């Protein structure tokens, strides 16, 4: 697989029209600044995650009108207004991964939500990882 390395810099669009008259050669250069930039390649992070995409000054407005950003809030299918994450439609928790242990030490999973889909005829479980007053972490069943 060929990875493409891409450095985005401001660029200009130009064309050159050339013609000759006797022993003289004339060139006319047509030049215009590009109003927008597109990338026809994959944008890949560096191997040590040292490159950011965007800046603190400028923020993305949306990605393909599916994921929206608004004042440090993220919306899926809508522009978020009230909370840090808003979703227009259902929110699915996939059950194909193995449920991690619920501990307070790294890699900490406290405050995680987990859905376990059980076999036919058996109750499903919806849990969160939290601690009790004795600072003991465990999965707490919501349903």
Supply the pLDDT for residue 125.
Answer: 92
Tell me the pTM. Answer: 0.51
Q: Identify which has the larger pLDDT, 5 or 130.
A: 130
What SS3 class is residue 35? coil
- Cα distances from 59 to residues 10, 44, 85, 88, 91, in angstroms, run 18, 19, 16, 21, 25
DSSP strand E in the chain: where? 12-21, 24-33, 62-63, 67-70, 73-76, 85-87, 113-116, 125-131, 137-141
Q: Encode pLDDT of 76-101 as tens digits.
A: 998 888 888 899 988 888 778 888 88
Cis peptide before 107 (omega within 30 of 0): yes
Q: How far is residue 129's CA from residue 104's CA, in Å, rounded to a whole number?
A: 9
Q: Encode pLDDT of 35-62 as tens digits.
A: 566 777 777 766 776 766 666 666 677 7
Supply the pLDDT for residue 12.
Answer: 46
Supply the pLDDT for residue 119.
Answer: 92
């Amino acid at each position: 697989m060929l990875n493409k390395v891409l450095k985005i810099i401001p660029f200009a669009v130009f064309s050159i029209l050339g013609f000759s008259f006797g022993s003289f050669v004339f060139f006319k250069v047509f030049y215009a600044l590009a109003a927008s930039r597109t990338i026809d390649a994959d944008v890949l992070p560096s191997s040590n995650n040292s490159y950011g995409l965007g800046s603190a000054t400028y923020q993305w407005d949306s990605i393909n009108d599916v994921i929206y950003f608004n004042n440090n809030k993220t919306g899926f299918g809508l522009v978020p207004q009230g909370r840090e994450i808003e979703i227009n439609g259902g929110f699915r928790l996939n059950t194909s991964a193995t449920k991690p242990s619920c501990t307070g030490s790294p890699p900490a999973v406290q405050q995680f939500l987990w859905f376990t889909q059980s076999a036919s005829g058996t109750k499903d479980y919806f849990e969160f990882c939290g601690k009790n007053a004795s600072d003991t972490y465990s999965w707490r069943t919501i349903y």
